Amino acid sequence: MVHPPLAATALLLVASPFIGSFLGTLAYRMPRGRSALGGRSACPACGVTLGPADLLPVLGYAWRGGRCGQCGVPISRDYPAIELAALAAAVWAVMVLPGWQGWAVCVLGWFLIALAAIDLRHFLLPDTLTLSLVTLGLALSVLGILAPGLAWPVQPVDAAGGALLGFAVLTVVGMVYRGLRGRSGIGLGDAKLLAAAGAWAGWQGLPGVVLIAALSALAFAGARGAWTRRLPRSGDPVPFGPYLALGTWLVVLYGPMAFGF
């Protein structure tokens, strides 16, 4: 097993809020058809270009009191939340998985954060992100063949099977739902995200991912219903991506649930 030096892991943790800042920009720009790479970050209200202090993760937000320094318009809390989430994912990953595998799972976590953030705001899981995750998961599974020190716990055939099965399961569920209810509830984006889960965790991980996603979605809907004292209407759009992301994260970190067999 290849272990990155401690200094490199420290660097990863220091860099992760800045990666989170990039993820926040990505989550804002991608659904609007804009590149996250080109162009300086600017206030969406007055257009003033953000300075170096504003671009400091979390601290920049706190320093300005959560408002644009130029026009005083509140800045979305999504930004510091995503920056903290990116840091939390990095800490969590390197604590649970030693060596380079923790780094790989950290990258998975950053993708999942961007996907969850976009789905929460736009009910959308961009192909660029889901299909990149499928590719990365498959690539990790064959890495051990090329370099034995970089062996990934999921075999290539299990990863490929997981990607196909994950996609097939939610595509079929979506079709059945559409047939019964006359409108779409589960999108192809969800199916591609479950394909990514299968590519990373292997087909053996899929029951755990779906179970965690379904239970956490129900728990959240119940908690929100109790909080707002309103029963959720069946027509309310519910993003399923964040729950699938949570299931994927937990199963890749802690292994598939055995269910006694």
Using CB under 5 A, list all residues that contact Zn ion.
43, 45-46, 68, 70-71
Report, in Å, the least distance between residue 125 CB and Zn ion: 30
Name the residue nearer to Zn ion (CB basis): 68 or 159: 68
* C-alpha span between 12 and 85 (Å, rounded): 14
Burial 200-238 (b: 16+ CB within 10 A, else e): bbbbbbbbbbbebbeebbeeeeeeeeeeeeeeeeeeeee
Smallest distance, Zn ion to C-beta of residue 71, A: 3
CB 51 to Zn ion: min, Å: 12
Tell me how far apart the alpha carbons of residues 16 and 102 are, in angstroms, rounded to a whole number: 13
| Cα(125)–Cα(6) distance, integer angstroms | 35
Q: Which is nearer to Zn ion, 43 or 170 (CB)?
A: 43
Specify the residue, 44 or 98, whose C-beta has the smaller distance to Zn ion.
44
Residue 67 DSSP one-character state: B
- Tell me the C-alpha to C-alpha distance, in Å, between residue 46 and each of 34, 56, 76, 78: 18, 20, 14, 19
Q: Is 185 exposed, middle or buried (0-12, 13-18, 19+ CB in 10 A)?
A: middle
Q: Smallest gap, in angstroms, from Cβ of residue 120 to Zn ion?
A: 24
In 57-155, where does DSSP find H-type helix?
59-63, 78-96, 100-122, 127-146
Closer residue to Zn ion, CB minimum distance, 45 or 56: 45
The nearer residue to Zn ion, 68 or 196, going by C-beta atoms, is: 68
Least Å from the CB of residue 44 to Zn ion: 8
Minimum distance of Zn ion from residue 181's CB (angstroms): 43
Helix axis angle, 188-201 relative to 241-254, nearest 10°? 0
Nearer to Zn ion, 43 or 244 (CB): 43
